[in-house]
Structure 1
């Protein structure tokens, strides 16, 4: 695949960013695309592997060497066809996925891996620009109706696949716009919302119906779902994790997702009462993941006085850890573009108290340094280090601690079993709940996870629904090992 000696001749080149001082003035994407000539070189770095492990790294089973080879050959339209054969929304994954495929790239053993994610994004952007991505409505309809609850990547993928199988699909979204966390949970500077809108326009032209401001089980009677032949629950894992810490209810302690959602809504002219702003404040972001990074970037754009980040885990190594050898996902320090915009990062630190004034407003955080004690056969123990107590000035504390699982509303009303982690119970590969015509996929089924897993589960669930409705399916699928199987 690619040029036989390409990986020896060309070094990895990534997109550049516009300067920090310029990009924090706005909320638009700030990458500087590579030239077509350079992208062709990047595609040619893909080795002629005996066994390409990038397939197993990607939950979608993307045919990565194949579309890299097409880019190397200048066959961009063929590359788009190959990419879309396994991935409904490469414009989302090409921007937001942490690229496990690159971490399992064979070239990554000895050199920088192939820039798979950037190639993917450029393929789909070229396809939209050239008009190659067109609506593909089914030639015939089956007469079967399917309700999709939730319009995140899992719900959208399930909807498109089931619609293409000929079923009549309605997608219910409780927010005022389609997209789930893609819409309001991801800052605009990571993905501009026009990227979602142009894809939704394709889905609508294919015949999918979207209904917004519909919260099934709240303002939409759950009994109405009985009119559908099948239901797919893709509501996500939206129960936010908090802290059992004194002062947690202080004015100024805010859930990260509320902070991010408000900013995106305001950016698009939505009415938000009492928007939480970082302007002129000492901001502390608790949590070192992607959501924490998004809060850092947003705080800097709002003009925070200072931005500090707390993480209770140890600082990861700068290079792949021996405990996570290739081709596994590496334990490794990640520095995002938001980190580069300005933040003081702290590891092995635990918040002990949120300090307030007489009016209940947050003024400071008290912390202590910690260490993890590893005992064979037991869970790691968190040990506080005496004499390391510290008070940090803080006007706004953002809790970016992840999610504990899906909300229980639908499960309770529909009589759906849940697993020990409160996820909606359905076997991987089957996606069918204990209620025979109700299926579930994505974060609602597996817990908080990656966008590629959401799209993969949406596609797989759609196939199982199709089999349930029709007795067979011509939708593509993978086996549980991730390998593609015949239609």
Structure 2
């Protein structure tokens, strides 16, 4: 424990943002880091609990009190070592994770929790700046070859772990650059892509081979995967949810991920024919999650005339709901930096029709207010409220409704079993499909989830692959208590 009374003396401080009027003019990150003196104070707020519930909140089992203590002591290099011992890519989670660790922080019962995510980000940024993060190629190669399909956080984590075990790893990515949804699904203003590039450079120097524009099952026959001793499928859950609503095919109804991907590619110099733009349009974003928030921020940067957000669920409470007590993930209203940049948010509203002109172009949305009827033992029922119909002017509707599961192409061609939710079937903790040398991890196995779960599953799947190939493994894992162990 760095300072016994730190949690009593210092209030939580987070990094700030540049003014809205300035940041909406560009697509770069806009956070203002805390000074080192303030970060050390934030580290001292950690109480080093006898039972650190932050561990249970984090799927990675990060050694949070330990690196908080090192930050308070000014031992930044040790903090970096501790952080990287459980998390391959803290620069990703430090920017993008919703921080379930903070929601289960013991201090959070009575005060604002420790700013764990920001401390994590500051540690890894300091480590890159000081040159502490260096390639660690294996000293001995096993002669075993492994194919990783998908270069999102699960695929990258599995690749690094298996490479460290001495196997020869090739990562296949169907897009034109490495990173999966980290690259094109996350706006540049939330994470600049140089953050990905510098980590990929480390992985390449460690001996991992990356191949882009390779779509396994399409322009790369699945039969070629038989050339590898093992395969890890980390293609994500990329089938986008739509709406069974009249007019859904109108010109102007666009999937959010297409909208976001196009803009990020344009930021990096690509030419997109017929790019979907929010400029001078009335934009309605349907879906209140993180992707919806990203659409709001991007629409404002493109110069939308107005931005409105629809969510079919009730408005969450401003504070933790009694239905989700500590240390569980709370039902609580989230206001992102993009929301603060300008949006009209609406809850308990359902889209009934996309209205078009004679040319099929979107001109408006028709909606109705709804309520949820809860009957014990039954699924919630959506009830429309009579007399609440409304028509909204709309030139661009962005569908930010999440994903229903992974694409089935590879599973169908390889004869892999899928579960009832269309995910690639593999037991949690084993990650092995019904084809013995084929494993799967991340959203492709568990469905749409968090970046920390993707990294965790990639690490754990790597260990199971190593055991399958070698009969044992020295790669680290987590025991049921969430503590780091090596078996």
CA distance in 1, matches of 2:48, 2:168: 43
Partner of 1:363: helix, strand, or coil?
strand
Deviations 1:78-127 (A, max 9, x none): 00000000000000000000000000000000000000000000000000
* C-alpha contact (below 8 Å) 1:4/1:48 kept by paired residues: no
Change (3 A) 1:356 1:288: same
Partner of 2:480: helix, strand, or coil?
coil
Shift of residue 486, structure 1, vs aligned partner? 2.6
Partner of 1:280: helix, strand, or coil?
coil
Supply the RMSD in Å over aligned alpha carbons: 0.6
Total equivalences in the alignment: 487
Deviations 1:160-217 (A, max 9, x none): 0000000000000000000000000000000000000000000000000000000001
CA distance in 2, matches of 1:122, 1:224: 42
Shift of residue 49, structure 1, vs aligned partner? 1.1
Instruction: Indicate yes or no: 2:383 matched with 1:352.
Output: no
* C-alpha contact (below 8 Å) 1:15/1:32 kept by paired residues: yes
Give the gaps of 5 or more residues in structure 1. Answer: none
* C-alpha contact (below 8 Å) 1:429/1:480 kept by paired residues: no
* C-alpha contact (below 8 Å) 2:86/2:484 kept by paired residues: no
Deviations 1:140-176 (A, max 9, x none): 1000000000000000000000000000000000000
**Structure 1 residues 135-144 or 265-274, which shifts more?**
265-274
Shift of residue 484, structure 1, vs aligned partner? 2.5
Partner of 2:342: helix, strand, or coil?
coil
Shift of residue 479, structure 1, vs aligned partner? 2.8
Shift of residue 481, structure 1, vs aligned partner? 4.9
Partner of 1:431: helix, strand, or coil?
coil
TM-score by length of 2: 1.00
CA distance in 2, matches of 1:417, 1:3: 53
Deviations 1:369-393 (A, max 9, x none): 0000000100000000000000000
CA distance in 2, matches of 1:239, 1:18: 35
- Equivalent residue for 1:42? 42
* C-alpha contact (below 8 Å) 1:430/1:464 kept by paired residues: yes
* C-alpha contact (below 8 Å) 2:255/2:400 kept by paired residues: yes
CA distance in 2, matches of 1:395, 1:221: 41
Shift of residue 273, structure 1, vs aligned partner? 1.2
Partner of 1:259: helix, strand, or coil?
helix
Deviations 1:410-452 (A, max 9, x none): 0000000000000000000000000000000000000000000
Partner of 1:134: helix, strand, or coil?
coil
TM-score by length of 1: 1.00
Shift of residue 482, structure 1, vs aligned partner? 3.0
Partner of 2:335: helix, strand, or coil?
coil
CA distance in 1, matches of 2:56, 2:444: 23
Deviations 1:268-288 (A, max 9, x none): 011211100000000000000
* C-alpha contact (below 8 Å) 2:475/2:486 kept by paired residues: no
* C-alpha contact (below 8 Å) 2:368/2:384 kept by paired residues: yes
Moved over 2 A (4+): 479-487
Shift of residue 50, structure 1, vs aligned partner? 1.6
**Structure 1 residues 47-56 or 93-102, which shifts more?**
47-56
CA distance in 1, matches of 2:446, 2:370: 31
CA distance in 2, matches of 1:486, 1:40: 31
CA distance in 1, matches of 2:136, 2:397: 47
- Equivalent residue for 1:222? 222
